[in-house]
Amino acid sequence: MSISDNLQAVRHRIADVAHACGRDPAGITLLAVSKTKPDDSIIAAVAAGQLAFGENYVQEGCDKAQRLAAAGYRLDWHFIGPLQSNKTRQVATWFDWVHSIDREKIAQRLSEQRDIAKPPLNICIQVNVSGEASKSGIAPGELEALADALARLPRLRLRGLMAIPEPTDDVALQRTRFAHLRQLRDDLNARGHNLDTLSMGMSQDLEAAIAEGATIVRVGTALFGARG
Ligand SMILES: *Cc1c(COP(=O)(O)O)cnc(C)c1O
């Protein structure tokens, strides 16, 4: 299967589950996770109509964004990996979104470093909805204080929440995790936030995520094949 065929297949998966649960597929953004994949794979996806790409590693992601911009491509770059404070400037420069914020200090740096000529950097807070089965993301009990702090940062726009639940084939458990993230988003909105984004669901569990309200699904393997 080519990347173009894979894209068609994933778009069909998204549309099928959206229709099955009464959602408009247009409300679900497919983020193509291109980490470790070469520029040619990204260009093949662009040729098939894909515009949003996700990267996990700062140097690799910034290099790709810079090269492809220089080659004339206008793409949306989403940073979805762990971020250390000494790498924030590059991310603030080359990315449009960061999904993996779980500390105020990192967000403050991104806000200070975001070029005034660019639109605000879109931010999601990564939440740990799997308890001890996961290490990354803020605990749900600390979410509201972080959201309140990030909403005050001038060069960021707090868009929503992201989660990477523990991998499981148990669809009921997948849905429990995603429903938890949606509930946390709804709770924040009930307290005055205006979050429109739930970044959840990957190659293996995007159906469960969409059924629970995902607005961005992050898909790598199903588009680009296994990573080496
Ligand atoms: C690698 C990665 C993905 C994509 O995972 P696949 O299983 O290849 O679809 C999505 N989100 C994050 C945060 C990732 O690191």
What confidence tens digit (pLDDT) does each residue in 26-37 have? Answer: 999 999 999 999
Give 34 Cα–ligand 1 centroid separation in angstroms.
Answer: 9
Instruction: Give me 28's structure tokens.
Output: 């679900």
Q: Which atom of ligand 1 is nearest to the CA of 224?
A: 8
Q: Tell me how many domains the chain contains.
A: 1
Q: Which atom of ligand 1 is nearest to the CA of 31?
A: 10
Contact present, 209 and 222 (Cβ < 8 Å):
no
* pLDDT tens string 69-91: 999 999 999 999 999 999 999 99
| End-to-end Cα spacing for the chain | 18
Give 54 Cα–ligand 1 centroid separation in angstroms.
Answer: 9
pTM for this prediction: 0.98
List Cβ neighbours of 132 (8 Å cut-off, separation of 6 or more): none
Closest Cα to atom 10, ligand 1: which residue? 218
Contact present, 173 and 136 (Cβ < 8 Å):
no
Contact present, 65 and 35 (Cβ < 8 Å):
no
DSSP bridge partners of 78: 54, 97
- CATH code for the domain of 9: 3.20.20.10
Domain residue limits at 211: 3-224
Report the relative pairing of strands 121-126 and 97-101 from DSSP bridges: parallel
